[in-house]
Amino acid sequence: MLKIHNYVLVILIICCNFIVFAQKSNELIINVHGRNTTSLDGEWNIIIDRYNNGYYDYRQQPTADGYALNQKPKSKSDRIEYNFDTSPTIKVPGDWNTQMKELYYYEGTVWYKKSFEYSIKKNKRLFLYFGAVNYHAIVFLNGERIGEHIGGFTPFNFEITSKVKDGENFIVVYVNNERKKEGVPTLKTDWWNYGGITRSVKLIETSKTLIQDYFIQLKKGSENEIEGWVKLNGNSNEQDISIEIPEINSISKFKTDKNGYAKVNMKINVELWSPDNPKLYEVKIKSETDIIIDKIGFRTIEVFGQDILLNGNSIFLRGMSVHEEAPYRTGRAYSEEDAKTILTWAKELGLNFLRLAHYPHNETIVRMADEMGILLWSEIPVYWVIDFKNPVTLRNALNQLTENITRDKNRACIIIWSMANETPISEFRNQFLVKLVNQTRKLDNTRLISAALEVEYPKDKFSPYVNDPFGKHLDVLSFNEYIGWYDGLPDKCKKVNWVINFDKPIVISEFGAGAKQGFYGDKDERWTEDFQEDLYIKTLQMIDKIENLRGVIPWILMDFRSPNRVLPEIQDGFNRKGIITENGKKKKAYYILKDWYKEKTEEFE
Ligand code: GCB
């Protein structure tokens, strides 16, 4: 009887799995840092499921013994062919590839299990929150499927109020990171596809009607008016709410409507946030049933002709790209320490801007950038040859974009939402990207939109131009260029004349060259630090002539893992375009850039 029951349950589980695409992103709870949470981080038991045996039997049918059930033998003759409790453990948060030698290049399924005790108080609700799981997660509580999520870099949560038991509970998560043609990203990228529960897992306990989400930022173009909204979630939607900024003695009151939604509009007099003065204010949002505190900075960001204006002043974005990789230990970065190292490097180099490539990074680094004063470019992994014709791919991209903006829209440091990287021009691609732009403007009309476009070459090859029709939808025109690396040698830079017919600020979103730290030679010898240094010198001279250049983001701050990079003794599985190694050693190009950025700082101040 028990077996039949389980069998039906597993069939149900499987049928649902592949129909439901993801959580509804409008149910995402924001500011988990400011809530009453219980951490589920730490050791989780795992089963490495190379043949998806936890789902399918030998006829490729749903199995009666699905691992989600976490069964135990009832008697000594019972046959249960798995056991989470005697299986190995790995740490959450963290990728699996760098925690077990045998998983270094593993892409597939791993089942995770964690037990926890809980006793939910009356009049409370409970949510299970994941900072990120790469790539596909199906979550079970006490053997019951509670939800599914696709996309490896954004948070999601499921309500478990009526499902959590008093006392012992267990969570099982099916995690699969196989690359898929229709996925976002798709089959091929230039970074390693770390699998696992890569960010923190939390239980969030809330009141029956909680303040789920809010948007509290300066109105576009105004330095003293907040325009935003607050959204409640629960059954007591019509409430009095207030927003307080104690430091400036500001209290404003609003009422939420029958959908739990209130528009917010308030006059304030604040010190504006900037990289030189990353001033954050404590903001208290109170309803009759909930209170949440955040630290928010206020600044304006606009484009005026060929300028980018931060708080009304023209700025030059002294940038650098970075992957979400941990300095010194490799693997997915997630911790405060990882974020601190990266942002301290950025400051030492004289940066005021980082491109978080090529997907949303963890909230810890974003919040720290807010505190330390580093402007950010945030992007989703719409990269290279996404399946632009596929509506499932579009839905996936829109969902990741929405989750990213939902999580980070109150962070002053983020000034640019980027839609895509080096995507080939076509009608389908253009329509796809325009839908992303429309969604972004709908969710947040205060920030700038960009995308890393590609450069084209006429026959003579010395007058590169950007002629992407998608450019007209962007506030900031950005493109990646590799003259001197993929295109000729660095000397070519001297002969190049850029032809960019867009009357917009230009930010070069990538340039760079690979170099093995400690390898020296002639400046025309590939892979030497001298080559990379020479390329930086000549590229910077070349781009300095572009009249509307308002920022540069060389590729890349730190060497990072990429399975495409197989050259023995030079690459060994790493893209070497970093100006700092994965172990923190600086290459010669670092100093060239640092000096140039110093000049730029003086020029723009
Ligand atoms: C690019 C990509 C980036 C690569 C880089 C490279 O254009 O945007 O993801 O890693 O070039 O090193 O080739």
Residue type, 458: P
- As a whole number of angstroms, the distance between CA 97 and CA 195 comes to 7
Q: Write down the pLDDT at residue 24.
A: 56
Kind and range of the H or E run holding 431? helix 427-443
What's the pLDDT at 63? 82
| Ligand 1 interacting residues, C-beta cut-off 6 A | 190, 358, 421-422, 480, 510, 555, 575, 577
Q: What integer pLDDT is reported at residue 167 of this predicted model?
A: 98
Token pair recorded at residue 505: 């600020």
Residue 480 CA to ligand 1 centre (angstroms): 8
User: How far, in Å, from the CA of 511 to the mean position of ligand 1?
Assistant: 9
* Nearest-CA residue for atom 6 of ligand 1: 190
Q: Residues of the chain whose pLDDT is less than 70?
A: 1-26
Please identify, by atom number, the ligand 1 atom nearest to the C-alpha of residue 421. 8
Residue closest by Cα to atom 10 of ligand 1? 190
Whole-angstrom distance, CA of residue 260 vs CA of residue 328: 46
Alpha-carbon separation of residue 248 from 271, 282, 283, 284, 547 (angstroms): 10, 10, 10, 12, 41
Q: Which residue has the tokens 């999580």?
A: 407
Rg, C-alpha atoms of the chain: 25
At 12 the pLDDT is 42
List the one residue out of 188, 28, 231, 195 whose CA is nearest residue 103.
Answer: 195
Cα angle vertex 120, ends 117, 126, to 5°?
Answer: 95
**Residue 23: what pLDDT?**
52
pTM (2 decimals)?
0.95
Residue 26, pLDDT score: 63
Give pLDDT, residue 424: 97
Residue 252: burial class (beta carbons within 10 Å; 0-12, 13-18, 19+) = middle
Give a three-class secondary structure readout of 2-54: HHHHHHHHHHHHHHHHCCCCCCCHHHCCCCHHHCEEEECCEEEEEEEECCCCC
Pair 512, 485: CB distance under 8 Å: yes
Question: What confidence score (pLDDT) does residue 605 get?
Answer: 77
Q: Which residues pair with 116 in a beta bridge?
A: 169
Q: Please report the pLDDT score of residue 6 as a whole number.
A: 46
> In which residue are the tokens 């033998």 written?
73
The upper half-sphere exposure of residue 40, i.e. CA atoms within 13 Å in the direction of its Cβ, equals 26
Residue 584, SS3 per DSSP: coil
**249 torsion bin: left (phi>0), alpha (psi -120 to 50), beta (else):** left
CA of 190 to the centre of ligand 1 (A): 6
pLDDT, residue 516, reads 98
Other Cβ atoms less than 10 A from the Cβ of 216: the count is: 21
Q: Which of 358, 510, 570 to mutate to test the pocket of ligand 1 (most atoms within 8 A of CB)?
A: 510
Closest by CA position to 71, among listed 168, 172, 161: 172
For residue 461, what pLDDT is reported? 81
